[in-house]
Amino acid sequence: MAMLNADEKRKLTETIKDVESRTDAEVVTVLAGQSDNYLYISTLWAAFLALLIAPLMQFLPWWIEYQQAFTLQWILFIVLAVVFRWRPLTMKLVPKKVRFWRASNLARRQFLEHELHSTKHRLGLLIFVSQAEHYVEILADRGLAEHITNERWQEIVENFIREVKKGKTGEAFVHCVEKCGELLEEAAPATTIKNELPNHLVLL
């Protein structure tokens, strides 16, 4: 999932402003590079593989002393711990459920940090994307959830992911906001002029 360029960010900002001009809802978009560094997982893998040397020590040449073997074990652990911190490799070591769990937690923190839960009439909407985890989620506050089902949001998310897989991250973001706007205009059409929250893409 590629980062958005300046033109794509500008187009997204304009789209958000247009959507919010037609609804009482507040829309915030967040793009995170990754939801966690997963340092604990890469370290555990390094430790596990380094410990596997212990049963193999009996096959080491007779001239390698125990202390030397122990040192080799530590060196292997350090090397693996460093190598496993390379993000593409780290993400392969992290179970999918863990990746999605961490991304989901960050999405909910962003929902609260941007005070989407305290907008007028509870009409806050968060579109959250975490690149490393390939995770997309739309969180709607109570005022919107009463009128729009999760299935309709999920349909937008699935379309977003399909476009991203084609390498169209910028277009996918804009289309996602536009589709959300159609639902928002239907559920909460504009009655007042407001701008409580940022219209630009929030980068983490």
Query: Would you call 138 helix, strand, or coil by DSSP?
Result: strand
User: What's the confidence (pLDDT) of residue 165?
Assistant: 75
* One-letter amino acid of 178: E
Sequence-distant (≥ 6) Cβ neighbours of residue 8 within 8 angstroms: 169, 170, 171, 173, 174
User: What's the confidence (pLDDT) of residue 5?
Assistant: 76
Query: CB–CB of 31/132 below 8 Å?
Result: no
For the chain, which residues make up each domain, given as ranges?
Answer: 6-36+95-203, 39-93
Which residues is 136 bridged to in the sheet?
Answer: 129
User: What's the confidence (pLDDT) of residue 181?
Assistant: 87
User: What's the confidence (pLDDT) of residue 199?
Assistant: 62
Residue 134 to residue 100: CA distance in whole angstroms: 9
User: What's the confidence (pLDDT) of residue 56?
Assistant: 64
Which residue reads 């893409």 in tokens? 201
CB atoms within 10 A of CB 108: 15
User: What's the confidence (pLDDT) of residue 67?
Assistant: 59
Residue 7 to residue 195: CA distance in whole angstroms: 23
Residue ranges in the chain whose pLDDT is less than 70: 1-3, 54-70, 193-200
Please state which CATH number belongs to domain 6-36+95-203.
3.10.310.50
Residue 186 to residue 45: CA distance in whole angstroms: 50
User: What's the confidence (pLDDT) of residue 188?
Assistant: 78
User: What's the confidence (pLDDT) of residue 55?
Assistant: 64
